[in-house]
Amino acid sequence: MTKKIIKIQVCRWKTCRSNFSEYITKRLKGDIERLDLKNIIIEETLCMWMCKKWPNVKVDDEVINYAEPAKISDRVINWPKKKKKINNKK
């Protein structure tokens, strides 16, 4: 059985970039390498137009606002078991 390819997009525009999006990308790439997760693709993307909810990460078709690095890592590592809403309110 082939694993589904998971596409992750991390906003790298000004507000998100100044609020940990680069760290999120680096952390996810490290998780993927460490755990040998060949079914995950990470992309940096331009603005997602949700700047007041930074940083923003899109996993497949779900946008995660107020993305915290540890929660995003946990979510991706355990995908799709944890496909519940994890948007954090500030």
**pLDDT of res. 18:** 87
**pLDDT of res. 77:** 79
- For residue 46, is pLDDT > 90? yes
Is residue 59 in a domain? yes
Is residue 46 in a domain? yes
pLDDT band, residue 7 (cuts 50/70/90): very high
Q: With contact defined as beta carbons under 8 Å apart, do 54 and 14 qualify?
A: no
**pLDDT of res. 58:** 93
Is residue 87 in a domain? no
- For residue 85, is pLDDT > 60? no
Is residue 90 in a domain? no
- For residue 89, is pLDDT > 70? no
What mean pLDDT comes out for the span 55-76? 90
CATH code for the domain of 62 = 3.40.30.10
- For residue 44, is pLDDT > 60? yes
- For residue 33, is pLDDT > 90? yes
Number of structural domains (the chain) is: 1
Q: How far is CA 19 from CA 44, 53, 85, 89, in A?
A: 14, 11, 21, 15
SS3 41: strand
Is residue 77 in a domain? no
Range of the domain at 67: 6-71
CB atoms within 10 A of CB 16: 25
Is residue 19 in a domain? yes
| Helix (H) or strand (E) segment spanning residue 75 | helix 69-77
Query: What long-range pairs does 82-87 form, CB within 8 A, spacing at least 24?
Result: 87/53
